[in-house]
Structure formats: structure tokens, C-alpha cells
Amino acid sequence: MIVSPIDSRYGRDQVKSIFDIQNRYNLMLKVEIEALRAQIAEGVVPELDLDPLLSVLEHGVDARRVSEIEKETHHDIMAFIRTVSEQSGSESSFLHFGLTSNDIIDTVTALQIKDFYDIIYSDIFDMEDILIALVRKYSKTPMLGRTHGQHASPITFGLKAATWLEEFSRHLQRLEDGKKRILVGKTLGPVGTGASMGRKGLQVSLRCMTSLGLSSEVATGQLVARDRYIEFLQILSGISVTLDKIGTEIRNLQRPEINEVMEFFDSRTQVGSSAMPSKRNPIESENVCSLSRFIRSLVTPESESAVTWHERDLTNSALERFTIPYSCILSDYIITKMTRILKNLKVNASIMQENLDKSQLCISERLTSELTMKGVDRQAAHEIVRRISMKFYEEDSNLAIILESGEFGKYFSHDQILNIVNPDNFLGSSDLICDKAIENALKQREGLK
């Protein structure tokens, strides 16, 4: 029986495998073995033959047997420990010595996030590659800027893409900055004192986590502090916001009355609507926007999980079986989907130019600036252009004619006015901004290698 759409509809196997129950049990055993190695090295427990446990790790923990025992014990970690003991064929008398359930659970979570880090870095690099290509190609392609849904000063499509590129550069930096705070585990026992390991508790935990490529928790209760997970999910949430922003922009620009970009649509086989065969809907961007909202919603329950009674309770346990796996699986899914959308995006540069040329008042900012440069007070210049704009709306006339025949014409010749009203001549530093955004992204990536 399949209930979750994660199983049947969303997510890539590469990411799902990180959170697969079999991988989880194998990682749990890996943590147990490394904890024993650290305890042996620190003289907490005697020398032990770890080969039987290593053999279980090589062949895989029996997930079916864990499930059987858990039905009896109602405790997943004890079911896991008993299964490993059975499979190893030895007493495993020091297995799980001085540890508690969340030493294993939380350290495994850190290892899963660590594996996901490699994937999301690759995802963002791929996204940046596509965005860099778009920024380069369209850095000088003019189009209407829009504020409040209304026509504003001209921009370029490359500049629009550069704003997205800059956001992903910052997300990448946040992931990197948060690594040491997020990838953290512990082996400090039931209330965080490491009491069964005497004065060696902190050193055992540090040694174990170092061998696993993690940082070690210091002052904590039974749980790794949940502000770490909250920070991680907030970063994923921020990434989802950027993807939602891009998807929303594509959806708006694809509206027929704008028609400046369009998602790839396979006209041979793809169906846009069950009722209206003519439809070409931006369903991929809509899917990204929809899942983005769900990802952001998962920050709230994770935030609530940071509040427990005393050193721990179970109020975090059930919800975290959803928050972290679902956030990771779906974040990867929507990043890779948006990368494909942008790679195959149809950019209608000619229609961008056509829409820009039709919107004569998109250069009202320039009109104000040109008057100011002629010595007209800035506020007075603004009022002159406002009156010209209202007249244009009322008369539905040609802007150049209105300018030349009115107060504006006192300051500028016919040819100067024609130059001023050409929106292609009012793009400012758009191309330089595009170049800088690309330079920033490439420089940052070089620093991460």
C-alpha cells in the first residue's frame, strides 16, 4: 500500500536512498562501531573483536527482523540492538555501552544530512550553471521592468536572471557557513553527562564524531540541540522561497497577454487541459511553487521540536520522521526540476522588445532625470512628468509628440526627445551588474573547492 506521494510521485531515488530504512540501520551500526572504537582507544572498555559487527555491517542489518522485534518491545533502538546481536553471533556485551537512543538517532541524522550536503551542493552548482548561461546570453536583452504588476523602468532579462543567481550564491554560502553547526552528533549518554564513561565521555564523543566526519556536541541533554536542525531547515526553506519566486515569475511572464517566456511544452504528446485542448499551462513551475510552500511549512514543527521536558521527551520524535527527510527529498526535487525548466525555457526576446516599445511611459524615470540634469528642481521635474503622463493616458496619444509640444520641448530638440523616449537607451548598468553577478558566483564556487 502506497500512501505518501514521496513514495510514488516526488523525489529522486538518489536522495530517497539516504533516508531509506535499510541505509538508516546500516548507519546506526556504523555509529555503534565507531563509538566502541573510540571507547577502546580511550580505555573505557577492554579490547574487543569488532569483526562480527563489521561483518553485519558489510552484509546489512536485517530490517525485517528489527521490525519483528519492535512489535514486541515497542522500542526501535532496542529492536535494532537485539537484531545486531543476533546477526553478529556473539554476546556483543559492550554494544551500546554508555549510550542512549538519541546518541545513535541524532548522529545518524547528521550523517544523512552530511550525505545530502553533497547532493544539494551539486544541485545548486547545476542551477548556477544554467543561470550563468541565461545571464550571459540575455545581459543586454531589454524588457519591461514591472512593479506592483504595472510597467516600470526597463531592465534586461539577464538582469532578472542575475537576481536569481545572486540568491543562490547566498544560499550556498549559508549552507557552507552552517556546516559545522548542523553536522553534529554525540555519544554522551542519557542526560548528556557521559557518566558511564567516567571522565572520558567528552573525549570519546569527540573521537567518535571525528572518525565520522562530524562535529561533536558539547553541552546538551539527551538530544543534539534542535536549533541545529531548525537552522538547516530554514536554509532549505530559503532555497524554496527563491524557487517559488522564479516559478511565479515564469508563470506570470507566460500569461498570453505578456508571452515573454514559456515552459517547454511537447506539442506532440503533452496535454494541457482535459477540457480545453488548446491549453499550454506552466504546470512544472506551478508544481515547484506548490512544493515550495510545503517545504517552508516544515520549519514550524521542527521549531516546536526544540522544546522538550527537561533533558528529553518524545515530542520531537514522530514529527522528525517527516521534517528532515521530506525537506531534503523535496528540496532536491524542486531544485532539479527548476534547473530543467530554465534549461529548456523559451525566451521570446522579440516580444519582450515589442512589449517594451508599446509601453511608452516606461521611461518616465528618465524624463524626470533628464529635466533635473537641465537644472529643473527634482520635485518640479517629477510634477511636470506626472502631468505629461496623465495627459498621455487621457489622450492616448504619441508620447514624443506630447513632449515636443509641451513644457518638456523647451529643453530638448526633436532628435533628443526621440533618443530619450527610446527605452533601449535607459538600461543603466544592467550588463555590468550581470557580469558582476557571474563573477561573484564563480569566485564563491572556487573558494568552496
Please say if 148 is a catalytic residue: yes
Rounded CA-CA distance 327/192 in Å is 28
Q: What distances in angstroms separate CA 438 from CA 136, 159, 196, 343, 370, one per listed residue?
A: 8, 11, 54, 17, 31
277-295 core/surface letters (b: 16 or more CB in 10 A; e: else): eeeebbebbebbbebbeeb
Strand boundaries in 9-149, DSSP class E: 142-147
Grid cell, residue 160, equals: 532578472
CB 361 within 8 A of CB 389: yes
**Three cell numbers written together for 96:** 551500546
User: What span, in angstroms and rounded, lies between the C-alpha atoms of 346 and 267?
Assistant: 14
Q: What is the DSSP letter of 209?
A: H
Helix (H, G, I), strand (E, B) or coil at 261: strand
Q: Which helix (H) or strand (E) holds 150?
A: strand 150-156
Task: Sort strands 261-262 and 150-156 into parallel, antiparallel or unpaired.
Answer: unpaired
Which cell numbers hold the place of 155?
A: 531592465
Task: State how far the Cα of 52 lies from the Cα of 43, in Å rounded to an integer.
Answer: 21
Within 254-376, residue ranges assigned H as helices are 283-297, 299-304, 317-343, 349-358, 364-373
Task: Exactly one of 8, 74, 148, 310 is catalytic; name it.
Answer: 148
Count the residues in the chain. 449
The C-alpha cell that represents 228 in the structure block? 541545529
Answer for the pair 226, 316: CB distance below 8 angstroms, yes or no. Answer: yes
Distance CA(294)–CA(326), nearest Å, equals 9
The span from the CA of 154 to the CA of 158, in Å, is 12
The CA-atom distances, in angstroms, between 199 and each of 179, 219, 375 are 28, 15, 79
> Given 4, 17, 55, 273, which residue is catalytic?
273
Residue partners of 251: CB distance under 8 A and separation at least 6: 282, 285, 286, 289
Element (H, E) at 155: strand 150-156
Reply yes or no on whether 211 is catalytic: no
Q: Which residues pair with 216 in a beta bridge?
A: 185
Q: What cell was used for 423?
A: 527605452
- Known catalytic residues are 148, 273
